[in-house]
Amino acid sequence: MPKQVDHRERREAIARALWRVVAQRGVAHLTTRVVAQEAGISLGQLQHYFASRAAMLSFAMDFASEQTSLRVEQGLAGLGDRPHPRDVLRLTLSEMLPLHADARATSRMSAAYVLEALHDEAVHEQARRGLLQGRALVERLVRQAIADGHIAPDRDPATETNLLLALTGLTPLLELDVITPQDALTAIDLHLDRLFADIAPGEQPVRSGGFG
């Protein structure tokens, strides 16, 4: 067991080093040698854990997704036992955007992974599965909110899910300082206000003044 724990920890450390390379130098510099240097290990040591660049990248992307999910779970714990679906969706969308250091790291990792997926069939399929799972989660939240009467019953769950996820397209505007984090949160809040416009007055959630 100790060896397995150490193996996982080393793989996670390498994944974080990969994130830093992507964030600081860009995808063009993403090689096993550069990641090994960033992680403070030899290339041979890195190859002991990852046989190829693709394997390293895939693990780093899976780990990024796990960290995003963990942040969402931690945020949900702070919303109480029965959080309003609007608050759950706000939290989920916010964690998909580069609004703080941890989210920026995973967001840039995701961008690098998509670029890789455009030219590698195996990576493409893994990335596609991950996106399908993430989209399915959001659609389940939307469908449940409709079933519970928080969203008007004539709303199409699939379309509303696509519109919600379209808000993650604010990422390049945030990364290139075209808009501020508060601008992004304002857009999210306005869209959610419109989506939940038909709920009973007494059910309006308490809006957070910010995120982070």
Per DSSP, the three-state class of 155 is coil
DSSP 90-150: HHHHHHHS--SHHHHHHHHHHHHHHHHHTT-HHHHHHHHHHHHHHHHHHHHHHHHHHHTTS
- Written as tens digits, the pLDDT of the chain (212 aa) is 555 547 899 999 999 999 999 888 887 778 999 999 999 999 999 999 999 888 898 899 889 889 888 999 999 998 888 899 999 999 999 999 999 988 888 888 888 888 888 888 888 888 899 899 999 999 999 999 999 999 999 999 999 999 999 999 999 999 999 999 999 999 999 999 999 986 554 554 444 444 44
Q: Which of 177, 165, 97 is nearest to 136 (CA)?
A: 165
Domains of the chain, earliest start first: 1-51 (1.10.10.60), 56-203 (1.10.357.10)
Q: How many CB atoms lie within 10 A of CB 35?
A: 26
